[in-house]
Chains A and B, each alone.
Chain A
Amino acid sequence: MKIMGVGGGAREHALAEAIARSAHSPEIYWVSELRNPGIYKIVKATGGEYALADTKDAGRIADLAVKWHVDMVVVGPEEPNFHGIPDEVERRGIPCIGAKRSLSIIEMSKAEMRRLQWKYNIPGKLLFKTYQSYSEALRDLERYSETLTWLQNVALKPARQAGGKGVKVVEDSQIYLHAEKQEFKERHMRWLEEYMEKYSDIEEKILVEEKVWGPEYTLQCFVDGRTVVGMPLVQDNKHAHEFDIGPETGGMGSYTGRDFLLPFITEEEYKRSIEIVEAMVKAIQDVTGEHYHGFIAGQMMLTEIEGPTLIEMYSRLGDPEGVNVLALLKTDIVDIFEAIIDERLAKMKIEFSDEATVVKSLAPKGYPDFRSLAKGHPVYVNETLIKEKGCKLYWGSAHLGLDGSITTGGSRLIEILAIDESPAKASQRIEECISLNPVKLLDGWGLFYRSDIGSAEMISRRVELAERVRRLYKYREERGTLGKRIDWLPKIGRVDPVASLLKELSFRR
């Protein structure tokens, strides 16, 4: 059997590894933009081939699949989905694990995702507005005291998924700092408008969403068009630096707990979360008439408004979250892929080992916002040392040159995984490993990572936060006010922002 993978990050390295573990002993073929040293090794060991190509170029990717006579294609990242790689591959008669273009809109357009959720009345919604330009958005945001309360505390986002970049969360509730915050919002919206110029596949540029608070978690699933199968929950950590400080990244590290849950999420909350993802899959299939084959994930937050709430969706596995779950997956992944293709997941038993995992990302200084500084540094890795310490390494943004040298690609370089009985223990294991400096940049440029991921300190903070949120949403539940927001404006009176939003949405249709 021959399987071809698309994409060159740590998540794809973990995918390649999981495929290589299969009892089918597939020959593995791969295509990505940089030559991932880890994937390259796996590909060579199975007798497959590795090509470098633009993974957004559907024709080129499909050509390679045909040329190599592969039996199936597995897509790792989101952009190939947005660019219709699964569509084109299947058009050439090769089954594909990956959301088709029209389905992947659920991730590509944060605006479409939200509209779908409101249209189908799926729980875990947030108020939002979209704008085509900075000046249009400004009209709403500058009228501080006459505007709806939720418009003061907002998340400002690119309306399109833009590589885990560009989101700012601004709580503008201290009137004495309003001038600074307002200036910041304006500057950021101007930046968003410019940043979105490079995407021609979406009209809306800026999404303004009500700001919520609470612990975040990711629920990743397999989907075959009929059945959604949930995996263990993972918490990713977006802030670049220790203590949840600093800019948004693609994810600096993640952990799983035991029994599919996290220490701060209950079984009931897991159940509600999977119901949300199922409903979203049904809705997008309903709208497009397509069957969803592949991975899907809900990036969730437990909020006081509704409990489990959808922040965004992935049409793929998360990175680093994918690394956690694939490390625990006991069932043969190729069997799962075949079941997805044949739409018989419902009959399959998918098992994960009941252990905790922690993944920590190492990135060159400069990531995420000053990537040119982070790029092009020569890398040294002592893999034996990492193994000796009971950890595993996954290559991320790195390029293996023809001469065998490895250089940084500018994003997260390496992810280190440990498995243990608790996240705290796994985290500690990675700490011991990293303290021996198994990864270095040979030109002396610095690497950074977060020592706090999965630590007992971090988890007790998350638990405390979740308890505060849970008390609030449970109280709403008792009173029957889940999801309800009521505001009051001088001269206008009582306003129901949900009703106004629904009215706007129906007007749009």
Chain B
Amino acid sequence: MNTPGILGIYPFGLGRENWRISRFVYYGLLALQHRGQEASSIITLGDDLHVESRRGLVEDAFNEKALLSIPGFIGVGFLSSASNDSPIVISSPIRLVLVGDGMPLLGKDRQSAWRAFAELLSDEISRTGNSLKAAVKLVEEVNGGYSFIALTEDQEMLAGRDKYGIKPLEIGSLGFDLGAIASETSALDVLGMDHVLSVGRGEVVRFDPYSIERMRVRELPNPAYCSFEYVYLARPDSILNGIPVYSVRIRMGEILAKETPATADTVIGIPETAIPFAIGYSRASGINVDLGFVTTGRRVRTAIKPSVFERLMGVQLKLNPIKSAVNGKDIILIDDSVVRGTTLRNTVWNLKRRGARRIHVRIGSPPLKFSCPFGVEIPPPDELIARSLSEEEIAEVVGADTFSFLSVNGLSQALGLPPSNLCLRCWLGGVKS
């Protein structure tokens, strides 16, 4: 699933050019690593523009020596789970570099859509001479679910979000010196920054050496925040659109317990995303929660690994059951979402081998049935198990006693927003709710 992480850091004031920003970008990206693990880019602007795009995890792509060799005091970072994904560099009429999360509806794939967007931006800035107005005009006219950060040759950093606010973007501040924009607040926290606010939907914020200005599109539709961010994509320590991801996941677990109760000895969440769901389920049901698995190797997000083989390898390394926690017990096993069901099947089987008796699988989100029009690479519909099978049938396939999803209403209740203020396309499909 491709949901890039983007980050921009901008110094102000006397001596601003003295900052070596590359290490800030690096650590900020580490805190966004869950959003993309195949390509990492660090872009800096100082005397010149430096674009360093490399394969793999941030930690593998950049070592200390590489970081120290990247000059520049304004920094932008980008992470993607597509290894061919990279920042868009436009050389004329206005030289700029752009990184984006989600996708403007301007092309078939992310890369070509973002290229078209960046070209339009460059043309519009050159035509109007005002980058803020140019970017707002684009946000006004270009549909899609996206957020972006662009850096121009004039040391202007533009950060904007689509009109519906589908993709997140958050603002931070450090001392009297640095301002930052990031996909998630986890990056701001790790950099020791204060989280200030979200970039508004349909809003563009511009940093230049002497000011920060913001401007919004004239007519704002209802928001449609991406619900999948709260279910799976975002880190639980992040706060998006003023809503803490952790609390949402706890509530999802609580609602799940009410919607689909089960009798069991213990509740277990599949690491790492589903652990808050399990805590919530346990609180609402009164059934104890247990740590069911220990992970081996570094943190890999199985759902965003490219091939089935890699995914399974990921699961096996990631999820070693703790025998004493499951042996002889009836278990409520909780996961955040189900794509193909392969990993879940594997996990259920593993638990049974360690002596688990009944296994009731509960999913903290509704059935995933549709692809995302904004570039979240959910597999094609015919590879989505929830699309073709009922809950009872899935239970059979994965080897569980019972199996149920959270309802769409439950999801909206957990978020504290009506369905009309959420993007629910991956659960409900096509039409904007």
Contacts and interface: CB of A to CB of B under 8 A. Distances in A.
Interface string A173-202: 110110110011001100100000000000
Dominant SS at the A interface?
A: mixed
A245 B23 contact: no
A446 B194 contact: no
A365 interface: yes
B294 interface: no
Contacts of A246: 12-13, 173, 176, 179, 212
Dominant SS at the B interface?
A: mixed
A170 B175 contact: yes
A188 B190 CA distance: 23
B15 interface: yes
Interface stretch (A127-135, A234-242, A304-312, A346-354): A234-242
A183 B73 CA distance: 14
Nearest to B210: A365
B306 interface: no
Interface residues of A, number: 39
B197 A243 contact: yes
A369 B196 contact: no
Interface residues of B, number: 30
21 contacts: A174-B27, A174-B191, A187-B15, A191-B15, A239-B173, A240-B12, A242-B205, A243-B196, A243-B197, A243-B212, A244-B194, A246-B176, A246-B212, A248-B176, A365-B211, A368-B13, A370-B14, A370-B209, A373-B210, A448-B213, A451-B214
Contacts of A171: 175, 192
A263 interface: no
B196 A180 contact: no
B91 to A, nearest CB: 27
Nearest to B180: A245
Top-9 shortest CB links A-B: A247-B13, A245-B179, A241-B212, A365-B210, A448-B211, A369-B14, A246-B12, A243-B196, A245-B173
Contacts of A446: 210-211
Interface of B: 12-15, 18-20, 23-24, 27, 171, 173, 175-179, 190-192, 194, 196-197, 205, 209-214
Contact of B212 (A170, A238, A245, A370): A245
Contacts of B211: 240-241, 365, 446, 448
B181 to A, nearest CB: 10
B175 to A, nearest CB: 5
Contacts of B14: 191, 247, 369-370
A177 B192 contact: yes
B176 A177 contact: no
Contacts of B196: 243-245, 461
A176 B173 CA distance: 18
Contacts of B23: 176-177, 179-180
Nearest to A243: B196
B177 A168 contact: yes
A169 interface: yes
A242 B211 CA distance: 8
Given A173-B192, A243-B196, A457-B197, A448 B210 contact: yes
A283 interface: no
A138 interface: no
**Centre residue among B24, B171, B192 by max chain A CB count within 10 A:** B192
A81 B41 CA distance: 55
A163 to B, nearest CB: 14
B23 to A, nearest CB: 6
Nearest to A449: B211
Given A245-B173, A247-B12, A247-B176, A366 B210 contact: yes
Contacts of A366: 210
A242 B214 contact: yes
